[in-house]
Amino acid sequence: MSDEQSIELSLEQVSDYEFRLRFDDTDAPDLLTDEPAPLGHGAGPNPSRLLLAAVANCLSASLLFSLRKFKNDPGKIAAHARATLARNEHGRWRVQRIEVELAMGAAAGSLEHLDRLLAQFEDFCVVTESVRQGIEVQVTVRDGSGALLHPAGTG
């Protein structure tokens, strides 16, 4: 039995920079993404915002998982996240830093094993730990006939 899993989605251009994301193998509703003006019309979050949301959501879920593992009731968990974008040495925009502040509804004194779970909850966060380590991304481009355009010479 393999320790690998895969997650798939489909993306289709609606118009200009607006795309419809369909999450395969789930009943999740489609999601519209778009770039803010002047490129797009801001009809949905752009990829940088989705990355920030993924990190904040995953950290929130990991904290909740860790708290519940010790039978704690943290109350409602909330997060505020900020991504800092800056241009790299080639003048291209990149997400340079992500900051996430998590808040629980419960007081710390009412929670069991708080030091222990705070020391380990980030390790349960698939997205944050993947982003921190870097992710291999392989890209191919095909034309309308299916011919491989990029990377050239691979199949």
* Model confidence pLDDT, tens digit, residues 56-100: 999 999 999 999 999 999 999 999 999 999 999 999 999 999 999
**Separation of alpha carbons 110 and 97, rounded Å:** 33
11 found inside a domain: yes
Residue 155's pLDDT band (boundaries 50, 70, 90)?
A: very low
Q: Are residues 70 and 21 in the same domain?
A: no
Within 16-46, residue ranges assigned H as helices are none
The whole-number pLDDT of residue 141 equals 86
pTM attached to this predicted model: 0.89
Within 70-147, residue ranges assigned H as helices are 114-120, 126-133
Q: Are residues 61 and 35 in the same domain?
A: no
**Separation of alpha carbons 30 and 78, rounded Å:** 24
33 found inside a domain: yes
pLDDT for 153 beyond 50: yes
Q: Which of 71, 63, 77 is nearest to 111 (CA)?
A: 71
pLDDT (tens digit per residue) in 2-18: 789 999 999 999 999 99
Give the domain range for residue 41: 7-45
